[in-house]
Structure 1
Amino acid sequence: MKLDENEIKRRLGEIEGWSYENNKLKKTFKFKNFYESVEFVRKIQPIADEMDHHPDLCVYYNRVVLELSTHSEGGVTEKDFELAKKINKIQ
């Protein structure tokens, strides 16, 4: 079930470093180089597969930008918060 904007903003404190923009949870992770950026994405893949919930992401030389939303619900759901928490534990 899609969460309303007030609920999302209230719960942002549960997921350090994430923001709510354009109906998505968003966070930029910074790294020393491209290798570290790609390795981070490789660590996300099994978590996302296990949850059957995959982030939108952009990989740059020394950073990865992640966006989470549940496309079938048209916005942010509990599943997005769960994935954000798991991703935060990687770094």
Structure 2
Amino acid sequence: MVKLNLKDIESSLNELKGWKFENDTLVKDFLFKDFSNSVKFLTMVQPVADSLDHHPDVCIFYNKVRVTLTTHDEGGVTDLDVKLAKKLDELAKLFEY
């Protein structure tokens, strides 16, 4: 896996809704109706992350889940982070908020 350059990251961000590039990571806050839905979202993230063998940093703030993606071995964002971001966006579409 190769760390993406800034041009490639910016191009990827054009394909991702609500994601930001901060401190060599991709970051997004997912908003849900309540805490229960935030936890349900995370339980759906786990098998997807496991299938890619790539795990996000997450933090729950009641109805908000902050997801941070980076490839630690490469010291920044790779195609794997972009792929996982797209999959998480698809999962979030299953929730009404």
TM over 0.5: yes
Aligned to 2:66: 65
SS in 2 for 1:14: coil
Pairs aligned (count): 91
SS in 1 for 2:75: coil
Aligned to 2:91: 90
| Residues 5-59 of structure 1: CA deviation (Å, up to 9, x unaligned) | 2220122011111110111000000011110100000010000000000000101
Q: Which moved more, 1:68-77 or 1:12-21?
A: 12-21
**For 2:71 and 2:10, how far apart are their aligned partners in 1?**
17
> 2:48 is matched by which residue type in structure 1?
I
**For 1:54 and 1:11, how far apart are their aligned partners in 2?**
19
Unaligned regions of 5+ residues in structure 1, if any?
none
RMSD (CA atoms)? 0.7
**For 1:83 and 1:10, how far apart are their aligned partners in 2?**
16
> 1:10 is matched by which residue type in structure 2?
S
TM-score (norm 1): 0.96
Share of identical aligned residues, percent?
A: 48
Runs of 4+ in 1 over 3 A off after TM superposition: none
Aligned to 2:95: none
Unaligned regions of 5+ residues in structure 2, if any?
93-97
Superposition map of 1:1-91 within 5 A: 1-91=2-92
